[in-house]
Amino acid sequence: MHHFPFHIGDYLAATSHLSNDEDLAFRRILDMYYHTELPIPLDTKWVAKRLRVSVEAIESVLQDLFAKHDDGHHHKRCDEEIAKYQSFIVSGKKGAAVRWSKEKGSEPTGVVLVGDGEAIGSLSNPNSNREPRTKNREPITTGTSKTIVARSDCNRPETVSEQVWSDFQTLRRAKKAPITNSAISKIDKEAGKAGISLEAALTECCARGWTGFKSDWMKGKAEPMNFTATNRRLLEKYEAEENLIVKPLELGF
């Protein structure tokens, strides 16, 4: 489990009689219990070493607040919370299996795969000796979500070098714009109008941060206003003024 409910009132009522060392031991024992989703091992020395707490404090808390069984020290509240969590995970996997079967046009098999392929047919016993960790992974989605991954739907054109293609892919990915055959065809067409190659057009896109390309941008008719374009216009104006001053001096006037 990555998190668990912590009810302050219940905790204070159950631990008000503990010493500072015992309170620290109990908190760390709870973290181990929920993290592994298993009861606390019977080897108290091993537990104390892992939790960096004295053996005396560990044994006092386990004897006071836990029930000793053959497979370890159990805590009723912890077992209940872990069972709820695992039930929620299994239900989510079953729902995903049903949705997947509908998309594929087949009936669900009744077997839910968890983690790296572990088959679960029903809610597992939280106190079993299986590998404890429930594996949760954040989904990578496409579309209108917080995490958007732009995927390329076309291969690198033969006329474009690997370096330029890689740079253009990085640019489109940063702009959350997938590279499609239609997009490349449109850029290639505009590049032809501008009298340059597709690679030159993509290079220009990478240099200027453009996700697309227009032939007019190269002619200065509809060039997007940016810092570079503004500087160039100021420089051209400055050079023109310099020529008006310098040329008469060169002629001897």
Confidence of residue 57 (pLDDT cuts 50, 70, 90): very high
User: Which tens digits make up the pLDDT trace of 125-139?
Assistant: 444 455 555 555 544
Is residue 58 domain-resident?
A: yes
Mean local confidence (pLDDT), 38-66: 95
Is residue 122 domain-resident?
A: no
Q: Kindly report the average pLDDT of the chain as a whole number.
A: 75
Is residue 126 domain-resident?
A: no
For residues 110 and 121, is the Cβ–Cβ distance under 8 A? yes
Least confident of 123-137, 146-160, 197-211, 215-229: 123-137
Q: Are residues 215 and 146 part of one domain?
A: yes
User: Which tens digits make up the pLDDT trace of 77-96?
Assistant: 899 988 888 887 777 676 67
Distance, CA of 82 to CA of 227 (rounded, Å): 57
Q: Is the pLDDT of residue 116 over 70?
A: no
Tell me what pLDDT residue 135 has. Answer: 52
Strands of the chain, DSSP E: 67-69, 72-74, 112-114, 118-120
Cα angle value 22/9/58 (rounded, 5°): 15
Tell me what pLDDT residue 115 has. Answer: 43
Token representation of residue 99: 């949705």
Is residue 45 domain-resident?
A: yes
Is residue 103 domain-resident?
A: no
Cα angle value 17/4/1 (rounded, 5°): 125
Is residue 76 domain-resident?
A: yes
Nearest CA to 156 among 164, 148, 147? 164
Is residue 89 domain-resident?
A: no
- Number of domains comprising the chain: 2
Mean local confidence (pLDDT), 4-27: 90
Q: Is the pLDDT of residue 185 over 70?
A: yes
Is residue 107 domain-resident?
A: no
Q: Is the pLDDT of residue 247 over 50?
A: no
Distance spanning both ends of the chain, measured CA to CA: 88
Containing domain of residue 216, as a range? Answer: 141-222
Tell me what pLDDT residue 223 has. Answer: 44
Confidence of residue 144 (pLDDT cuts 50, 70, 90): very low
